[in-house]
Structure 1
Amino acid sequence: MASLKKQLLFFAWIIGIFVSISLLTKLIIVIFLDNTLNNLDFFDIIHSLFWGLRFDIAIAMIFLLPTWLLYYLLIRLGVAKNLNILFFSPFFLLFFLMLAGDVVYVFDTGRHVSYEVFNVIGDIGALTHTLWQNYKFIIFIFIVLMLVLFFLLTKINNIFYKKSIQLEVGLLLLLLISAVFIRGGLQPIPISPIDAYSLGDDKKALIAQNGAYNITYSLLNYKSSLQQIKINLNEYQKNNYDKILTGLLPNKIKIKNGKINKFNVVLIFLESWAAKNMRSYGNKLNASPFFDELKKKSLSSMATISAGMRTTEGLFASLCSSQNPLGKSIVHSELENMEYRCLPHILKSIGYKTAFFQGTNKNTSGTGALINKLGFDASYGKQDVTGNSYPIDNWGVQDIDIYNFSLTKIDQLKQPFLVAINTNSTHSTALPAGIEYKFGKENYYQKRLSVMSFADNALAEFVKKYHDKNYHKTVFVIVADHTVSSGDNLYDKYRIPFLIYGKDFIKPKNIPAAISQRHITPSILDILKINTENHFGANSILDSNKIYADFFNNGILGWIENNNMIEVAVANNNIKCFELVKNKTQRKLTKCQQQHQQMANRALVFTHYNQKKLFAGELLNFNKNK
């Protein structure tokens, strides 16, 4: 008969194995993201690993408890008489897969998986291809770790049970232990992934979090309340809240004695384009000559900052002029059901026809449902495209094919129209067979530039074909939805290309400021001479009085004004200060001054206010702060 002591020892073995796997995974992140984590010293990393043990132990208990309950039933039903630790092999394998997928996601975006887990089933083929194409070394490392683990498991003795109340006693103890550790300890509120932000540093939080715990937490909280990240305002910010906020709220666009310009609007969301890879934003190589040349003829800015790292996040900010829930999307949350009045809603109300096209499956990442929520009438994805010039890749159709398909559908739309296109070729680093890798394919960077060059050629062909059709005057808005690389720093990670082009009727101008995706819809409406209402989170870029940009990354809020940039921790107000140099193509660390503290005040108060309005469903009254 197995004693209670042996049961507890067995529990310790299982928990130890799960925790060891988690720690090894975190070490992989630390080693291979050394450039991203380069400001952390050895003790910072050790502190983060120890702090994150609460997540590691919690996920171990989440796996152990139901597995042990299953085994208990098998014993009491007489199906099993002994327990081999290999009984846990399928659960260890699942755990490995969750962590491996999360590691790849961290390398791709610089953050752990959360709500995106709901899109895995629909995108499993594309994700598997991307994993094999770009992260073979991760697959190899995890296979080796699994083989070592299963070899060690075979060395652990089986446990034989006779019918004894000690089995129930062991189960009761496990239930009690689980109740404590799954909650993360004895605190009154169970832990959640956002608790890692209390470390006050996004990189330390990244190390502390456990990918499998994040995934499990998201699955268990599907369609439940999306947690709002707490922004800890200091006493000065609280006492001067309204005063600080008044200088930040955007002005309403009021057109006096003007007729609405019912120009067509074509929005192109360039999939995963990063400004740091483009000559017009400081790169020495010429991977996007068409975009760079068109930018000279357009209304643009010296820098544009994305609102997130996923397509749905970029779309929401660009079309609705609001921050996303910090580090998240409104997709797959109760925020989907809130009321919004976005660019498609406004233009439809004055007679515009609307359509949205994407090169991937139209339900990828919840995009199809989101764009319908945001006001588009028609939605098309890769399954609708016919007459392809190139084979469909693992994500979808190539850019030239989605462009050509959209042109056939645009021909059927009554003018004026609003059309948005989310491209696909740059979703991957693979080119169709027979296409030259212009910048090489020996490493990820070369392939990324080569794919961008291919996509830039397709963009040039689309714009030419569009103009050849002699539609009415058209406002082209070309912007990336987000970047793909974690980047060497947060500025590069969120810096994207952007322009507004109107052939012969929009005056070229390069705004000497960093703008955000929140500025896009107000700017379009300004050009169309349409009055705005009380719900936008930014001005038109033609109104240069209140232009600032922001981003959020793992507990760190970035804020840019003129040539100054700060990164402030929302948990404790700690700030780092930078100067933007070389036409805002680079950032340089600088000593924090009083002006930087004032920027932190504005960043935290504005974000606190935007998040409060977003979660309360009050974006339609954004400018009514009292």
Structure 2
Amino acid sequence: MRKEKSKSVVDLSFQPMIAVVMNILLVYIIYFIARVAFLLENYSLLGGHSLTIRHLSELFSGALMFDSSAIVYTNSLYIVMMLLPVWFKEFDGYHKLCRLVFVIVNSVCLATNLADSVYFPYTLRRTTTTVFHEFGNETNLLRIVGTELFRHWYLVLLFAVLVWLMWKLYRTPRSKVYNFLRASHRLIYTGIQFLALAVATLLGVAGARGGLQSGVRPITISNANQFVERPVECGLVLNTPFALIRTIGKNVYVVPSYYPDLQSASKVFNPVVRSLKPTVKNKKNIVILIVESFGREYIGALNKDLEGGHYKGYTPNVDSLIARSCVFSHSFANGHKSIDGMPSVLCSIPMFVEPFVLTPASMNTYTGLPGLLKDWGYSTAFFHGANRGSMGFLAFSKKIGFQNYYGRQDYASDKRFGGDDDFDGNWGIWDEPFLQFFCAKMNRMRQPFMTALFTVSSHHPFVIPDKYKNIYTEGELPIHKCIRYTDMAIGKFFQSARKQSWFRNTIFIITSDHTNQSNHAEYKTGIGEFSAPVIIYDPSATTVKPGMRDAVAQQIDIMPTVLDIIGYDKPYLAFGCDVLKTPASQTYALSYLNGIYQYVKYGYTLQFDGQKVVGIYSLADRLMQHNLYGHVAVQSKMECELKAIIQQYMYRMVNDKLMPES
């Protein structure tokens, strides 16, 4: 008899958990119905009859990740209320309150999803928090909303029916307070509830982030691009509660009024590039290596004056390559994160204020080097040895025009290589084998091709393959052995590439995504910590002449420089310049650090807080010890130029103007 009662108490203790599972499943169904309504309301905009059942299933499957995140965020209070491990909450009044919270919260979410199906045709994207600024000064919103409610009465009816169903189908636990009068029963209940809450917390974190696997950052609205064939389809993959939640506090782009209008700013700086004279098409292959954490500091050939001229660095293979390449006396990254490097290198979009791909502007209409070249007859592919979707690179690569993406899973399925035995256990496939895979894949691509590869091995936790641990020993910093390993991998890649028929008809560009650990003071300064290599290698030595150029280069110069090299003759938008054709005195670099814009030009680094200049330093002052504010003739000129760049950037981000006007 006691066993039966104990079993009954266990069953009752599981009741809140079962109720939560059933009710959350009900929310998933509500989101699914709202998405179907969104599709039907915007059928023609989303492709209409061209949408196949297979593609729709892919879109709806991808949507589950974003629905899970939104459901976790919005229902977290309800879940905690239900699973709170205190026995005295099990009475009717408390569960009526839980039911009310559940229905109200999810009714609001349903309303935003249904409302956005009406608003979508005007924006072609899910509503973000920018909507509150967009309509902040409108006085006729109530009338507009009333009109739309009347016109879309069927959505109002659907809303009412679904809210009624939520209320009716809501599951209430059958446990009551009197079932836990004994201390032993309370103990059983508390233990079960505590474990349930712990499991729910773990699952909730995974759901909110979009996964717990290594290398995955919390998903943002830009991650929807990995599931779509056209950017407009992101609206079907996303949901409005998620878009709102993920952009709270992310309205980082505010258009300043340094100049009275965009035209005035354009007279000082104009990011739209138009060919003013006929160019000779020179459709060489383009290969870009974005090397993880490959700071300029580690490269001996770029630091011949370091340590009294005795510095060897950690990159003998890249040093050898530099002897046959075009490099620059000053070169910089435009951001501090991997997700900053991708837009900078491939789209000529620097990081200002927040990583571009984490802001609502990432859903604007724009393209990059692969998209421009794809439309110009190139075949394009992006390579990243990590899991598909890691760092959001799959989504971003599709957004900017890469036709194919190759990651860890693609490497593992290629029988010519070592499969998952070459997985580093943290981020992805070791650089040495993955670079060989990269070379092999390019052998099968139609020329001309444009490819980019993002390496993974020179990354925290700074480990290398066991077979190299006695070869590349610890340096002064943990990253040094990884740099040595990746340098070796790059050397072996070029050994393989030189044997290929496409090699001499290819322009290679090597840069880093950002910098990393440093042990030299000049690389720890405000501008020094952005110092990254920009290496342009032309094996034929005919299109790009080798040598050190006394100029400034940056990641955002790569796209315009490449386009000029190959004779691209269509308009495009870039915040960098063609660093080979621009006079050395006019080359520049941009960065943003803790609220300070940095502008390198004319031999100086200007620091600007958005309102005023706070410092100006000579590039020769490598430790940035002498603030020359007010004592440099070009300070005012640099400030005007930087203000024009910032205003152009902010205006184009806020107003979706990242493509050249027709």
Per the normalisation by structure 2, the TM-score is 0.59
One-letter amino acid of the structure 1 residue matched with residue 549 of structure 2: I
Deviations 1:477-498, CA, capped at 9 Å, x for gaps:
1111222348733323222111
The answer to whether the Cα contact below 8 Å between 1:263 and 1:528 also exists between their aligned partners in 2 is yes
* Matched residue SS, 2:571: coil
1:501 aligns with 2:537: yes
Residue in structure 2 matching 1:316, options 343, 353, 365: 343
1:416 aligns with 2:443: no
The answer to whether the Cα contact below 8 Å between 2:351 and 2:591 also exists between their aligned partners in 1 is no
Deviations 1:315-363, CA, capped at 9 Å, x for gaps:
11222222346322325x5434322132112212222111111111131
CA positional deviation for 1:231? 5.6
Give the alignment of 1:467-546 within 5 angstroms: 467-471=498-502, 473-485=505-517, 488-503=524-539, 504-505=541-542, 506-545=544-583, 546=586
CA positional deviation for 1:603? 1.9
CA positional deviation for 1:554? 2.6
Tell me the distance in 2 between the aligned counterparts of 1:462 and 1:73: 64
Tell me the distance in 2 between the aligned counterparts of 1:438 and 1:469: 29
1:123 aligns with 2:208: no
Tell me the distance in 2 between the aligned counterparts of 1:576 and 1:349: 44
Tell me the distance in 2 between the aligned counterparts of 1:555 and 1:375: 32
Residue 228 and residue 532 in structure 1: after superposition, are their counterparts in 2 closer, same or farther (change >3 A)? farther
Tell me the distance in 1 between the aligned counterparts of 2:446 and 2:563: 20
Tell me the distance in 1 between the aligned counterparts of 2:293 and 2:210: 18
Residue in structure 2 matching 1:431, options 436, 440, 464: 464
Tell me the distance in 2 between the aligned counterparts of 1:252 and 1:388: 45
Tell me the distance in 2 between the aligned counterparts of 1:485 and 1:92: 40
Tell me the distance in 1 between the aligned counterparts of 2:76 and 2:613: 37
| Counterpart residue number, 2:252 | 229
Give the alignment of 1:352-367 within 5 angstroms: 352-367=378-393
1:376 aligns with 2:398: no
| Counterpart residue number, 1:278 | 299
One-letter amino acid of the structure 2 residue matched with residue 499 of structure 1: I
Deviations 1:557-581, CA, capped at 9 Å, x for gaps:
11111320022223x4351222212
Residue 350 and residue 241 in structure 1: after superposition, are their counterparts in 2 closer, same or farther (change >3 A)? closer
1:265 aligns with 2:286: yes
Which stretches in structure 2 are left out of the alignment for 5+ residues? 1-74, 96-175, 218-240
1:611 aligns with 2:650: yes
Tell me the distance in 1 between the aligned counterparts of 2:595 and 2:394: 29
CA positional deviation for 1:239? 5.2
Residue 527 and residue 575 in structure 1: after superposition, are their counterparts in 2 closer, same or farther (change >3 A)? same
Residue 446 and residue 388 in structure 1: after superposition, are their counterparts in 2 closer, same or farther (change >3 A)? farther
The answer to whether the Cα contact below 8 Å between 1:535 and 1:619 also exists between their aligned partners in 2 is yes
| Counterpart residue number, 1:547 | 587
CA positional deviation for 1:224? 4.1
| Counterpart residue number, 2:605 | 565
Moved more, 288-297 or 64-73: 64-73
CA positional deviation for 1:64? 9.4
The answer to whether the Cα contact below 8 Å between 2:361 and 2:656 also exists between their aligned partners in 1 is yes
1:441 aligns with 2:474: yes
Deviations 1:86-106, CA, capped at 9 Å, x for gaps:
999999999x99xxx9xxxxx
1:458 aligns with 2:489: yes
* Matched residue SS, 1:537: coil
1:327 aligns with 2:350: no
The answer to whether the Cα contact below 8 Å between 1:275 and 1:492 also exists between their aligned partners in 2 is no
Tell me the distance in 1 between the aligned counterparts of 2:214 and 2:442: 28
| Counterpart residue number, 1:305 | 332
Tell me the distance in 2 between the aligned counterparts of 1:485 and 1:609: 33
* Matched residue SS, 2:590: strand
Tell me the distance in 1 between the aligned counterparts of 2:316 and 2:649: 37
- Identity fraction in percent: 20
CA positional deviation for 1:256? 4.2
The answer to whether the Cα contact below 8 Å between 2:252 and 2:353 also exists between their aligned partners in 1 is yes
Tell me the distance in 1 between the aligned counterparts of 2:210 and 2:552: 32
Tell me the distance in 2 between the aligned counterparts of 1:347 and 1:533: 12
CA positional deviation for 1:532? 4.1
Residue 468 and residue 520 in structure 1: after superposition, are their counterparts in 2 closer, same or farther (change >3 A)? same
Residue 521 and residue 403 in structure 1: after superposition, are their counterparts in 2 closer, same or farther (change >3 A)? same
| Counterpart residue number, 1:579 | 618
Residue 423 and residue 412 in structure 1: after superposition, are their counterparts in 2 closer, same or farther (change >3 A)? same
The answer to whether the Cα contact below 8 Å between 1:311 and 1:367 also exists between their aligned partners in 2 is no
Residue 319 and residue 532 in structure 1: after superposition, are their counterparts in 2 closer, same or farther (change >3 A)? farther
Deviations 1:111-137, CA, capped at 9 Å, x for gaps:
xxxxxx84662326x99xxxxxxxxxx
The answer to whether the Cα contact below 8 Å between 2:300 and 2:315 also exists between their aligned partners in 1 is yes
The answer to whether the Cα contact below 8 Å between 1:251 and 1:539 also exists between their aligned partners in 2 is no
CA positional deviation for 1:290? 1.9
Tell me the distance in 1 between the aligned counterparts of 2:255 and 2:369: 32
Moved more, 320-329 or 484-493: 484-493
> Radius of gyration: which is bigger?
2
CA RMSD of aligned residues (A): 3.9
Tell me the distance in 1 between the aligned counterparts of 2:628 and 2:582: 27
Per the normalisation by structure 1, the TM-score is 0.63
* Matched residue SS, 1:526: helix
Tell me the distance in 1 between the aligned counterparts of 2:255 and 2:438: 46
One-letter amino acid of the structure 1 residue matched with residue 496 of structure 2: K
The answer to whether the Cα contact below 8 Å between 1:228 and 1:615 also exists between their aligned partners in 2 is no
* Matched residue SS, 2:357: coil
Residue 578 and residue 367 in structure 1: after superposition, are their counterparts in 2 closer, same or farther (change >3 A)? same
* Matched residue SS, 1:344: helix
One-letter amino acid of the structure 2 residue matched with residue 356 of structure 1: F
Residue 458 and residue 469 in structure 1: after superposition, are their counterparts in 2 closer, same or farther (change >3 A)? same
Aligned length, in residue pairs: 446
Residue 369 and residue 529 in structure 1: after superposition, are their counterparts in 2 closer, same or farther (change >3 A)? same
The answer to whether the Cα contact below 8 Å between 2:474 and 2:480 also exists between their aligned partners in 1 is no
Residue 588 and residue 342 in structure 1: after superposition, are their counterparts in 2 closer, same or farther (change >3 A)? same
Moved more, 521-530 or 240-249: 240-249
* Matched residue SS, 2:524: coil
Q: Which contiguous aligned blocks of 4+ residues in structure 1 show a shift greater than 6 angstroms?
A: 62-66, 80-84, 86-94
One-letter amino acid of the structure 1 residue matched with residue 536 of structure 2: I
Deviations 1:523-582, CA, capped at 9 Å, x for gaps:
001110112414222220023244221111232211111320022223x43512222127
